[in-house]
Structure formats: C-alpha cells, structure tokens
C-alpha cells in the first residue's frame, strides 16, 4: 500500500491515539487548550502530513507552521504545546507505518514522515525565534563590554573561538558560551573543547560571576558528544586524563562560579558528562539525554562514572549506560538531572535570570561552597590494587576487537556486531 493511502485510511485511528497521548501529557503539564482543541491540532497536522506525502514536498506544512508560529507569537503564547503535538504525532505515525507497510516500503515511508514533520517543526521554531528576536545576535544587543579579540561583540568576534565553533558574550555579570557548529552537530572535538576552556578563562578575567553554556539558537542538537573521529583506535586509553574533553570537564567543575547548562535539543555521549559537570541544568521539552559508550565498545573512565554517581542513583546510571537509550526531558526532570523544565520560548530568559540572581550573591562564599562540594564528591578513596585492576579491565576493553568494531560501524553508518572479544 502506498504511504499516503495507508495514512488516509487510518486517519481516525492515528488521530485518536495521538490525541489520547496528548491528553495524558496535558494532565502532567497543564496546557491551556481544551481536549477538543488538542484533537483539532492533531487532525490538522495529520492532514498536512498526508497532503505533503501526496504532493511530494513539504511546502504545505512549512507554510502552515510559519502561520501558526506567527499567530501564537501575536497572541502572546509560546509554541511548546504545538511542538508537543508534532512529537506525539510522529511517534504514533512511526508505530503505525512500521506495523502496516511491507519492508520495502517501510524505510522510505518512515524517512518521509521524519522529513515532513522535521521541516514543519523547524519552520515553527525558526519563525517564532525570528519574531521574538531570539537569534544569536539578540544577546549582543544587551551585553556590556566585549571580551576582546576573537569573542562575539568585537570587530574580530564574528569568527568566535575554535574556528567559530564557540562564541562567548557578557551580559552584565553573566557570561554566555554558545556552541555553534551545525556541521558537526557541536561535537566536542579537541578544538571545540579547548575553545570552551579558553572562553571560560576570558570570562573569568572579564569578571563574570556566573556562566551559561548553551547551543546556538536554532540548533536541534545541543551536542553530539566526543568527536568519534578523534578517539584513538586501540592500544591507548580513549578517555585519558589529558584528553581535551577531560580537560574541559575539569575546567567546568573547577570554575569558581556557577556554570548553568541551558539545554535545547539532544545531548549525546560525552556531552551528557559535560552537562552533568555543570552546576545546574535548565532545559526545555526538546531536550533528551543519552550516554552511549556501549554503542562503541568504549570503556568509560572511573572519573566520568563518579560524575554520574554524584547526580543519579546507581540503578538509573546502569539503565542509561547499559541501554544507551535517550531519556526525554520530563524523565530527566523526574530523575533530577534537570533542575528546571521550562517552555522553549521561556528558556533563554529564565536561564539568564537564574544566572543573574546567582551572580548577584556573595562571590567568595559561592566559590568556596562550590569547591567544597567538588572536593567532597570527587575525592573518593580507592585502594591502589583496585584502581590497577579497573585500569586493567578497561585496557582489555579498549584493546579489544569490539572497540574497533564500534568505531568502524560508526564511521560506516551501520549497526555494530559485537562479539565480546
């Protein structure tokens, strides 16, 4: 059966299931719309997906999403609820198409659904962001002094740090560091990691008393994690003490003032460790978090595991590491990974206001409290022979064929075949 015909024949079923899922979310998030309005949102969106499938392009859903964003902005509403409708309908459509179409049609249909809804979701967010003047330049319009050569706000600042992958600004006593490399999905390469460390040093010299770490406006991935291309291919610890990402994590944890991770989009692998190394996390409903070394056959280091032990119960740590599955924003909030879960339209202002509040407090007191907490969490006693045994086990793992298979599979964009050797 052709995709658009399959969808059209299941309209009531799909719309009903998605509306029921939205109703369940409504009971948790207390949106202002009525059940009838939510059902109407779903049906309208479903019909746009069918239309786009029929005409072979995404223009109908893009135009409609732009209009919805403009209407919501004009009425003073955010777009979080509409974004939730996109997410729920996508989940239901994937389940339905995966069970309804033959193998040769399924992959194509799922890709088309993803492309159609992705185009609409992007148009919705970009239009709203543009209308609300929340482009990357919006921060510079309200900043204080610039940070000097290579930083945003200066004549040489358009390039930013790390070849433009990292940008930094000052807003009062708050520093803002933005990851801005869409091509690599903000992968934490050596250059990017060093750029963030340099930005922290310059912000400290500028006298800021709190820092917000974010992805640049408009990016759907907060960070894809450690740059896989830079991992050593066996016979060397992939997460050694002097690895640039490890140096970045230490710089965040030892920075004398609060560092707040502001998360819009997905966080993967080592970037999740980076988020957990920040002092607080503020996220919106688009945020997801996954720790993925098991996908690569990579033995995570003991220091990194201690970062997780400081934030999560052991059973949740095991679930995340053993499955490598993403955790959505609400679950991350329930698990206390996220301090505050707010709507996308509120995320920037809420985070900056929170940082400004902290920056207004006694800086010496905050610095010493942060350092005391770090020392208490980081310095867990371990016998020398136990440490040596753990390092031996890790060496067996990163010297194994499984580790090379994980790296090769990632590079070749195929599922890995692990043999335990």
- From the list 195, 270, 297, 406, the catalytic residue is 270
Helix (H) or strand (E) holding 223: strand 221-223
Known catalytic residue at 226: yes
Residues 187, 165: contact at Cβ < 8 Å? no
270 an active-site residue? yes
Catalytic residue among 120, 226, 265, 403: 226
Task: Give me the residues paired with residue 261 across strands.
Answer: 213, 281
Give me the sheet containing 280-283, strands edge to edge: 166-171, 174-179, 210-215, 259-263, 280-283, 340-341
Helix (H) / strand (E) element for 210: namely: strand 210-215
Token readout for 159 is 């390039």
Tokens representing residue 323 in the block: 């499955």
Segment (H or E) for 328: strand 327-328
Alpha helix positions (H), 266-343:
270-277, 302-309, 314-323, 329-334
Q: Using an 8 Å Cβ cutoff, are 4 and 50 in contact?
A: yes
CA-CA distance, 144 to 140, in Å (whole number)?
8
Residue 221 has φ and ψ, to the nearest 5°, of: -115, 120
- Inter-axis angle of helices 35-55 and 59-75, to 10 degrees? 150
Give 237: exposed, middle or buried? Use CB within 10 Å, 0-12, 13-18, 19+.
middle
Catalytic residue (one of 300, 304, 398, 403): 300
Q: Exposed/middle/buried for 8, CB within 10 Å: 0-12, 13-18, 19+?
A: middle
Catalytic residue numbers, as ranges: 226, 270, 300
């Amino acid at each position: 059966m052709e995709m658009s015909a399959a969808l059209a024949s299941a309209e009531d079923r799909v719309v009903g299931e998605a509306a029921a899922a939205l109703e369940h979310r409504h009971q948790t998030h207390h949106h202002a719309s009525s059940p009838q309005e939510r059902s109407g949102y779903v049906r309208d969106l479903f019909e746009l997906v069918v239309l786009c499938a029929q005409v072979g392009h995404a223009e109908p859903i893009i135009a409609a999403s732009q209009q919805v964003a403009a209407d919501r902005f004009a009425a003073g509403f955010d777009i979080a609820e509409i974004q939730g409708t996109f997410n729920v309908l996508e989940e239901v459509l994937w389940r339905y198409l995966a069970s309804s179409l033959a193998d040769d049609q399924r992959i194509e249909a799922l890709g088309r659904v993803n492309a159609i809804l992705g185009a609409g979701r992007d148009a919705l967010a970009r239009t709203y962001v543009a209308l609300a003047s929340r482009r990357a330049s919006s921060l510079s319009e309200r900043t204080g002094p610039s940070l000097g050569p290579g930083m945003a706000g200066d004549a040489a600042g358009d390039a930013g740090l790390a070849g433009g992958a990292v940008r930094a600004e000052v807003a009062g006593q708050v520093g803002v560091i933005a990851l801005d490399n869409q091509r690599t999905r903000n992968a934490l390469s050596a250059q990017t990691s060093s750029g963030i460390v340099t930005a922290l040093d310059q912000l400290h010299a500028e006298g800021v008393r709190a820092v917000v770490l974010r992805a640049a406006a408009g990016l759907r991935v907060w960070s894809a994690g450690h740059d896989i291309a830079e991992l050593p291919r066996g016979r060397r610890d992939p997460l050694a003490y002097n690895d640039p990402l490890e140096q970045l994590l230490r710089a965040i944890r030892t920075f004398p003032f609060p560092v707040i991770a502001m998360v819009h989009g997905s966080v993967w692998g080592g970037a999740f460790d980076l988020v957990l190394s920040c002092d607080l996390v503020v996220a919106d409903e688009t945020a997801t978090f996954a720790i993925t070394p098991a996908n690569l056959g990579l033995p995570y280091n003991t220091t990194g595991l201690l970062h997780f032990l400081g934030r999560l119960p052991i059973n949740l740590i095991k679930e995340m590491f053993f499955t490598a599955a993403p955790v959505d924003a609400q679950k991350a909030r329930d698990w206390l990974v996220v301090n505050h879960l707010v709507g996308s339209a509120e995320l920037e202002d809420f985070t900056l206001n929170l940082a400004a509040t902290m920056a207004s407090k006694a800086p010496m007191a905050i610095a010493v409290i942060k350092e005391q907490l770090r020392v208490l969490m980081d310095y867990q006693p371990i016998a020398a022979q136990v440490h040596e045994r753990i390092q031996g086990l890790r060496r067996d793992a990163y010297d194994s064929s499984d580790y090379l298979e994980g790296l090769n599979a990632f590079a070749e964009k195929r599922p890995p075949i692990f043999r335990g050797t």
